[in-house]
């Protein structure tokens, strides 16, 4: 199959996914008018996360291209991955493994996110200082976490702070402080193991 034929096939699949996603997009934009954009976005993300295989990947990418701040068409978002905030960016060549939970973040080009990774919207999502009010009812602050280009985040890591470019985050690591470029970190809390450069 030649490059032109591949491109035409890809465009046809994208158009087909746009038609299938149309009812979801209508719901999303209606939620925006009602000031419930992120709640509707999160619900639709849950539904889309359950579609298996290549078709699920195509449907998710297509939907997120219309609804998130940025979602490059050349990325992979696997089964079970949930996004909670529309103000999220997914760059070119990004791979997000199955069963991830992604908050407000910017995942730069060519990052690899392993299975079961949680990228939280910073460390201050929940306030807990008022002992008279349930924690669930106390407002927190969302932060946009950045995962630098060409970074690899291992399975089941929890990211609460930005990670620089060309880093490696070990499986199961808990990142609570910003990570400099070219770092390899691991552990709970994540600590510098060595520099790649």
Mind telling me the catalytic residues? 126
Reference 57, options 116, 112, 97, 3; nearest CA is: 97
Strand partners, 118: 101, 158
Please say whether the beta carbons of 31 and 23 come within 8 A: no
Angstrom distance (rounded) from CA 27 to CA 98: 25
Q: What is the largest CA-CA distance in the chain?
A: 66
CA distance 178 to 160: 9
What is the Cα 192 distance to its own chain's centre?
Answer: 24
Pairing of strands 145-147, 105-107: parallel
């Amino acid at each position: 199959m030649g490059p032109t034929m591949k491109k035409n096939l890809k465009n046809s699949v994208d158009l087909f996914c746009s038609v299938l996603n149309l009812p979801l997009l209508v719901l999303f934009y209606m939620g925006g008018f009602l000031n419930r954009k992120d709640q509707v976005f999160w619900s639709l993300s849950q539904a889309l996360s359950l579609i298996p295989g290549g078709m699920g990947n195509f449907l998710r990418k297509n939907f997120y291209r219309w609804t998130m701040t940025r979602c490059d068409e050349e990325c992979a978002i696997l089964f079970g991955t949930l996004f909670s905030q529309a103000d999220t960016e997914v760059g070119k060549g990004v791979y997000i493994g199955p069963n991830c939970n992604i908050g407000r973040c910017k995942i730069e080009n060519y990052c690899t996110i392993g299975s079961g990774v949680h990228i939280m919207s910073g460390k201050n999502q929940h306030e807990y200082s008022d002992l008279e009010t349930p924690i669930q009812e106390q407002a927190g602050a969302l932060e946009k976490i950045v995962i630098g280009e060409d970074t690899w985040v291992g399975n089941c890591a929890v990211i609460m702070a930005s990670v620089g470019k060309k880093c490696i985050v070990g499986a199961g690591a808990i990142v609570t402080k910003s990570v400099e470029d070219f770092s390899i970190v691991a552990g709970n809390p994540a600590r510098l193991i060595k520099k790649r450069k």
